[in-house]
Structure 1
Amino acid sequence: MKHQKLFTVLLTGLLVSPVYAAPPANDDLANALKIVLPYSQSQKTIDATTEASEVFPPCTFSEASVWYQYTPKKDENVVFDTLGSDYDTVLAIWSGEEHPLTEIACNDNSLLTTQHSQINTTLKKNTRYFISVTGFNKETGTLHFNAKTLESLNNDDLSGAIEIVGETFSYTQETTKASTELKEPPSKCGKDGNTTVWFQYTPRTETTMLLDTLGSNYDTVLSIWKGSKHPLTELTCNDDRDEETIQSQLSMTFRANSTYYIKINRLNKDAEQTDILVFNATPDEPGSTEPPDSTDTPDLIGAMGMGIDADGNPIETTASFSGTITTETGLSGNDLTINHTDNIAISVTVQVDNAHIDETADILMVVAIPINDKTVIYYMRQGTAWEEWTGQVALLEAAEKTITLQKTFTRTLFQGSLNQLPATSYIFYMGYRLQKNGHIIFNGTDPIRLKVQ
């Protein structure tokens, strides 16, 4: 009984005695956490305090601070932010060695939200800077603090496109002074502003990637293109990830050993704003990510098609094409190098433009054989035979006449041995021509490429 009473007294004491939680380890300036870029950290700030001689951030009333410090080894353009925090933060950068410090920059609300903070500024080498995060009106919670070096604007033009390397890729840069090239085509997902930057991706194997601009502080358009110089051909694009997000996101399967260009441009340019782009590329499962906005991203089976009218002028289309070369040895792809003794099958699956379903059309098949940089010989399939073609649209004969277009269909362009063909490169095109107006829709953005050796 005596032990039971003692236990009761101890338990009662625990229940009624106040519990004092310790403040964060970096609550005071003297304990500011040293950081190395890139840096990302999460911590609770519930019991953060304000020191007696601490200067409040001048951009708004806030208290309950935690502290970081950074000393760059060279002059750097750096962005700090609190994106992902669950309370209203205030971010400030300071110089000095003890309180009261001298404020360099301060931000309450970034352009992205009314709760998170973001600062980008140039820091001098071998100078120690202190960074404080406080809570608006003394708010506290779970803080997410991030710091990155802003990369130089070397990818303003297509020729300077930055290569995406590694399984995951993230790139942060200031794009305020980005421009648009003379022949650069606009995206279908939104009227381009006057600032665009470029990335490129050449996977070694067929890869599905999720691309996004989440974390950027401006309204982006993300688009993917094929070609080697302007004007490129757009494959797919996205303006806003969803109704509440002005940044972009899309998923696409990239074919092995094919080079793709990714363009990011800004909508609604604000002359007084400093633009910070965050571009991310991560692996994605095929079909795991639905397009955020079906009006932005067509439901492609492969690459978006090209269209021309009866006079050869470009027209828009939502049709898409997926071409495949299959060998008897098990190789498969739309860009292969094979031996002339191999037996192969070349086929294309077409997803018809919604506006063309149930229309009457002819099936067209063409192969281009580059002789040198200036000369290309064309052959068209007429029925089952391949005949030389002059390249004039009006003289292009059909491989198959008068079919009714369904949602999808597949055709074989070639099947058999290559032993009678010269060892060179071949580019195969397939499409359909509407009988009512002569419009031609074909796989011009991503044709089938075959090199015979």
Structure 2
Amino acid sequence: MRPNLIRPTRAAVVAIVAAVVAVLLPGVAHAEPPSNDDIDNATELTLPFTENVDLPQASAAPDDPDRCIAPGDRTVWYSYTATEDVTLRFDTDNTMTSAIFTGSRGALRFVPGTCATDWYPRSFPAHAGTTYYVVLAGADWYSRVQFSAAVVPPPVNDHFDAAQPIGTLPFTSRLTLAAATSEAGEPSASCDLNPGSPSVWYSFTPEESGAFVVDADSFGGNYTPRVGAYTGTSLADLTEVACIAGQNVVRFDANRTVYLQFTAAGTGARDLSFGVWPARPLEPNLQVSPAAPSVFDDVRFDGYSWDPEGDGTSIEELDLGDGTVAHPQSSYVYHRYTADGDYTVRLDIRGSGGRTATISKVVSVRTHDVAVTGFAAPATGRVGMTRQVSVDVANTRYAENVTVTLYRGDSTGYQAVRALTGPVPAQAGRTTRFTFDYTFTDADLAEGTVVFKAVAEAGGVRDALPSDNTVIAPATRVRPATS
């Protein structure tokens, strides 16, 4: 006998599944909004403060302020009542909209300059006795975010009289100007586009005169940091000696104290960097072209020098070693020597911060010049007949080992026939003869004529005038062999 089974309805099945899901996944089915989802339940900040908040679980109240907050943005609220005048810093670990208000619900007043829509730290001055409301807002797709708040203490070197001494180099400092001030009577550096901005002070007394890199947050992506460099003893008698935007090389004298004023308008609580270190020396480089010149060459001297600090170099002086001294405006000079010899060339360069450097190079001027002054080739030839071809080489400067190559030319171009090598002494009015034996062939007959070419080359040296090293003889007519 089969049991009597009761089939559950579809509605009952759905109810059972829903119940199981509710038991197994309570966090998904019944996620609670943050406790500070509403301004009336704003979390009171006890500083320093840090918490993680699930912004996607928050909601938007109908009376959320419309200043800085987009309609429908989910919001969470924090409150802080200052007991003394302080500077507050807020941080989030993700891109987030935030704003600060005073007043009460329904009558909130936006604190100017506190609307932010990025992940940079925010800061603002809080006044004693005032309650501030901080709102974090974002769309429903925002993820969990970490929020922190803290009091920013005034920098210890906020005032000139408390300038921080710079000792061992390289010196670097991480700082924020959120709680910095500008003193009465404080100067503004000549390159500072935001006079009166908050500042901090450093003092530097170098043991030796030299060039130093002063870095005003050059890698931070901020465009307002400036450093004014001054000499003097008080705010009343400071004299500006340099103004640095980004990074510059500056010369400071030994045992003379320099005061460095760091400013950066509009950077709020962002972390900034300041540094001082010795500038790296210039790297002089002199290139000579051609490397083995003659008295017929206009020699080019190029100052391919390098500044590791990126400021570039200029030629202060170029002594060419033969009594000629140049002060070029460009990076190169042309010069022709009038006699063979070894000339010591000296290049003096200059860079930023008064840096200088010198390099010397010996330029050996040697004029090697052999010339083909005579070329005798037969006017006619017969197949199978051997005739002589002679080449006369002249040389008046240095004894050379010369190679003379004889070429045969036809409708396809020139082909080397033979090369002879021998010494050619330096003798005015005399020549050295190179003699070749050439036997005419059927291939020559097929062409009808052949053209002889001779090329003379001095071994291991560059010929100063190569145009007189090649000679081509008139065409030689070729006839059949005699029977």
Give the TM-score normalised by structure 1: 0.41
Greater RCO (Cα-Cα under 8 Å, separation 6 or more): 1
Give the TM-score normalised by structure 2: 0.39
Give the number of the structure whose alpha-carbon radius of gyration is greater: 2
